[in-house]
Amino acid sequence: MATHSPLLFFLLSTYLLFPFGFGAESESYFHVIKVTFLLPPLRCSTPKGSNHHENKKGVLKLDHRYGPCSPLGHHGKPPTLGEILSQDQSRVNSLQSRFKAQFHQVEDTKTTTLPAHLGTLVETFNYVVTIGLGTPKSDLTVVFDTGSNLNWVQCQPCAGASQCYPQQDPIFDPSKSSTYLNISCSSQDCSLLRSATGHSTICDASTSTCVYTSIYVDNSFSMGYFARDTLALTTSDVFTNFAFGCGQSNKGLFGRIAGLLGLGRNALSLISQTAKEYGRVFSYCLPPTSSSNGGYLKFGSGDTTSVKFTPLLTDPNSPSFYFLQMLGISVRGQQLNIDPSTFASPGTIIDSGTVITQLPMSAYVALRSAFRESMSNYTMAPAFSLFDTCYDFSQQDIIIVPKVVLHFGGNVDVDVPLLGIFFIRSASQACLAFAGNSDASDLAIFGNHQQQTLQVVYDLASDKVGFGVAGCT
């Protein structure tokens, strides 16, 4: 019996799915891939061409918190995919609640009161970088978040587990740093804490030292002295008098991270504090899988020749967040019948801390319908967590997946990377990785799962956000 080559098998299977031809025009609307490509490797891998980002000015190596490349190691059992999605939905819920509360307070300040402890966003904490703090410097692995403003790390003294949670790196000891200095209660920076954290400032009367409080919706918290010290992002990127929270009392679901870098738009964020050096420009590329170490976080301008920019908007109710003008969605080269006003109110934010992109329900239903129609040749699998459109590819070798494109203002089209289209539980349960909002008044959120492998550039000086393809390589 004659045997068929893999190429012939591919051509035959393609013809069965597209009996009228699969020319260059139609091919640009689909991903054609092996199912094994969807399954991340268990070992740390380096994508070809990714190392050119390392050891450069303003560039930090970025890793997935729970992946095999993570500097946090593997202590204990990592959360399941279901638990990660549950935490992600908690973050989304807290973001929506905070936005609505602030909106109503601005709408009628005489009759509406902001809750006393609305709380900072629940952090999904997906991606980590390593920084240096103090003189001599201590290396600390922290998460970064565009939805947060305050920078903080755990600090000594920690009398016991009730005051500090276990972390991978040695806990920062300010007494061993010659450049550490507490911020006084009378400092202007102390007065900025309320807008950065959403909580009232406290003064330690015995030392006249400003005290910060960052309380999260899941009851996690970090509290301590507001201080200054020397921050080293790289050996050549050193900042004196960097303001941060030095937490003597910390508790919650933070894992083994040392703290947090806030990349929001508030005056206390890392972006604002390093504005003279970097011009309020930063970018990142999130690696394609949790097993890849090809990601980076970069501060300052760089090569943006292949980047297309969309206007960055500001919402007066939530001035720290990054708002974009989302206009529509295309599937398989066809723009869906979605009224652009669907995304206009209350708006769309891009957020590094939210995993799954959240859409207005009418937009999600249109996306789901078009995607299911294009995938009608494949066997559907049971729903999983947030997802109601899942497929069983366990009997497939090659699959053909329709491309999904998000349309933004400024004529910017973002082709969602293939691994951002699916959330993979296994070969027998690959789910469309989008979710619909439960309320018509909810924000649309462009999550990090759909940003993977993109070069995402935030240019606050020019009020724009850009997207480029193959950012990690």
In a domain, 371, yes or no: yes
Beta bridge partners of 33: 399
Residue 90 and residue 231 in one domain: yes
Q: What DSSP character marks residue 183?
A: P
User: pLDDT at position 24, please?
Assistant: 39
Residue 377 and residue 396 in one domain: yes
Helix, strand, or coil (residue 130): strand
User: pLDDT at position 17, please?
Assistant: 42
What is the Cα–Cα distance from 197 to 114, expressed in whole angstroms?
Answer: 14
Residue 276 and residue 173 in one domain: yes
Residue 356 and residue 271 in one domain: no
Phi-psi bin for 380: left (phi > 0), alpha (psi -120 to 50), beta? Answer: beta
CB–CB of 230/238 below 8 Å? yes
Point out the domain boundary residue: 264, 296, 328: 296
pLDDT tens per residue across span 65-102? 777 788 877 656 777 888 888 888 888 887 777 776 66
User: pLDDT at position 218, please?
Assistant: 67
Express as a percent the part of the chain with pLDDT over 70: 83
Express as a percent the part of the chain with pLDDT over 90: 52
CB–CB of 434/417 below 8 Å? no
Over range 225-252, report the average pLDDT.
94
What is the Cα–Cα distance from 300 to 274, expressed in whole angstroms?
Answer: 9
Residue 333 and residue 288 in one domain: no
Is 145 an annotated catalytic residue?
yes
State the CB neighbour count (10 A cutoff) for residue 413. 15
Beta bridge partners of 232: 132, 238
Residue 426 and residue 384 in one domain: yes
CA angle 291, 57, 465 (to 5 degrees): 70
User: pLDDT at position 37, please?
Assistant: 87
Instruction: Provide DSSP, 134-180.
Output: TTTTEEEEEEEETT----EEEBS---STTTS---SSPPB-GGG-TT-
What is the Cα–Cα distance from 367 to 373, expressed in whole angstroms?
Answer: 10
Least confident of 78-92, 190-204, 457-471: 190-204
User: pLDDT at position 405, please?
Assistant: 97
In a domain, 99, yes or no: yes
In a domain, 264, yes or no: yes
How far is C-alpha 397 from the geometric centre of its chain's CA atoms?
Answer: 31
Is 70 exceeded by the pLDDT of residue 193?
Answer: yes
User: pLDDT at position 318, please?
Assistant: 80
What is the Cα–Cα distance from 70 to 72, expressed in whole angstroms?
Answer: 5
For residue 227, report the phi and psi dihedrals to the nearest 5 degrees: -145, 175
CB–CB of 251/155 below 8 Å? no
Query: Average model confidence (pLDDT) for the chain?
Result: 84
In a domain, 4, yes or no: no
Beta bridge partners of 249: 223
Domain extent for 238:
51-74+81-105+117-296
Is 90 exceeded by the pLDDT of residue 49?
Answer: no
Residue 313 and residue 292 in one domain: no
The size of the chain, in residues, is 473
Sheet of strand 326-331: strand arrangement:
334-335, 326-331, 404-408, 412-415
First to last CA, the chain: 44
Residue 191 and residue 217 in one domain: yes
Is 139 an annotated catalytic residue?
no
Task: Report the DSSP pairing between strands 221-234 and 181-182.
Answer: antiparallel
In a domain, 9, yes or no: no
Residue 232's pLDDT band, with cuts at 50, 70 and 90, is very high
In a domain, 18, yes or no: no
Is 70 exceeded by the pLDDT of residue 241?
Answer: yes
User: pLDDT at position 153, please?
Assistant: 96
Residue 216's pLDDT band, with cuts at 50, 70 and 90, is confident
- E-strand ranges in 165-274 read 181-182, 202-204, 209-215, 221-234, 237-251, 259-262
Residue 242 and residue 356 in one domain: no
Residue 346 and residue 280 in one domain: no
- E-strand ranges in 281-325 read 281-285, 295-299, 308-315, 318-324
Q: Which tokens is 90 given? A: 């908690």
Long-range contacts of 104-108 (CB under 8 A, 24+ apart): 106/316, 106/317
| Helix, strand, coil % over all residues of the chain, rounded to 5 | 20, 35, 45
Sequence-separated (6 or more) residues with CB below 8 Å from residue 181: 227, 228, 229, 241
User: pLDDT at position 230, please?
Assistant: 98
Which residue, chain included where needed, has tokens 């638990």? 83
Residue 269 and residue 350 in one domain: no
pLDDT tens per residue across span 124-172? 557 889 999 999 999 999 999 898 889 999 999 986 656 888 888 999 9
The domain total for the chain is 2
Among the options 63, 88, 145, 169, which is catalytic? 145
- 4, 19, 196, 460, 462 from 11: Cα distances, Å: 11, 11, 57, 48, 48
Is 80 exceeded by the pLDDT of residue 111?
Answer: no
Which helix (H) or strand (E) element contains residue 63? strand 59-64
CB–CB of 58/298 below 8 Å? yes
In a domain, 43, yes or no: no
Point out the domain boundary residue: 245, 261, 296: 296
- 398: CATH: 2.40.70.10
Point out the domain boundary residue: 247, 271, 296: 296
Is 80 exceeded by the pLDDT of residue 429?
Answer: yes
pLDDT tens per residue across span 2-37? 444 444 344 334 434 443 334 434 568 999 999 998
Least confident of 66-70, 105-109, 197-201, 355-359: 105-109
Residue 1's pLDDT band, with cuts at 50, 70 and 90, is very low
What is the Cα–Cα distance from 462 to 317, expressed in whole angstroms?
Answer: 21
Is 60 exceeded by the pLDDT of residue 443?
Answer: yes
Beta bridge partners of 330: 335, 405
Question: CB burial class (10 A; 0-12, 13-18, 19+) of residue 362?
Answer: middle
Among the options 315, 351, 442, 459, which is catalytic? 351
Residue 286 and residue 197 in one domain: yes
User: pLDDT at position 4, please?
Assistant: 44
User: pLDDT at position 114, please?
Assistant: 28
In a domain, 422, yes or no: yes
User: pLDDT at position 401, please?
Assistant: 96
